[in-house]
Amino acid sequence: MKQTGIKQLGQNRSASHEYFILERYEAGIELFGTEVKSLRAGRLSLKEAWCQVTNGELWVRQMHISPYEQGNIFNKDPLRPRKLLLHKKEIHYLNGKVRQDGYSIIPLRVYLKGSLIKMEIALCQGKKLHDKRESAAKKDAMRQIDRAMKDFNHRN
């Protein structure tokens, strides 16, 4: 019997700062046994990762999965490209969008769904410097409002 719980293994925190997230997708990842064991231990980095459509297949590049300690000869290259599993229609749609200027496919997080390892990817559009400043100002304003409300509630 499969468990349906979701356990987060890693996430790309800088993605929401660097990009406008337009659409999200759930994809499977083609992995080897030692990579799965390393992922279950939470040893991955999505900081530099990005996705690319090549020959009608979606690949994640620059995702770093640390070698498994007991893996010896079975360990693979930590930065090797890994195939993502999506429906053909979704891949063609994403490929069409990425060919337009300013769109990218960025991995947001890797998680365990039951016994399967999944990746959440997003179609994103890059933020300009003024957009980043604007979102930082909004975040700061919300933080100040929350503090004021908290302070007000404690006084009453």
Q: Place 2 in a pLDDT band, splitting at 50, 70 and 90.
A: low
**Res 133 pLDDT > 70:** yes
- Cα 45 to chain centroid distance, Å, stands at 10
Concatenate the DSSP letters of all residues of 121-156 into one string: EEEEEEPPHHHHHHHHHHHHHHHHHHHHHHHHHHH-
Report the percent of the chain where pLDDT is more than 70: 92
In this prediction, residues 126-130 reach a mean pLDDT of 77
User: In 3D, which of 112, 108, 107 has the Cα closest to residue 38?
Assistant: 112
Average pLDDT score over the chain: 83
Sequence spans of domains, the chain: 6-127
Give this prediction's pTM: 0.73
- CB 30, CB 80: distance < 8 Å: no
Q: Place 52 in a pLDDT band, splitting at 50, 70 and 90.
A: confident
In this prediction, residues 76-84 reach a mean pLDDT of 80
Dist CA 26 CA 10 (whole Å): 15
Q: Does 6-127 carry CATH code 2.40.280.10?
A: yes
Q: Place 107 in a pLDDT band, splitting at 50, 70 and 90.
A: very high
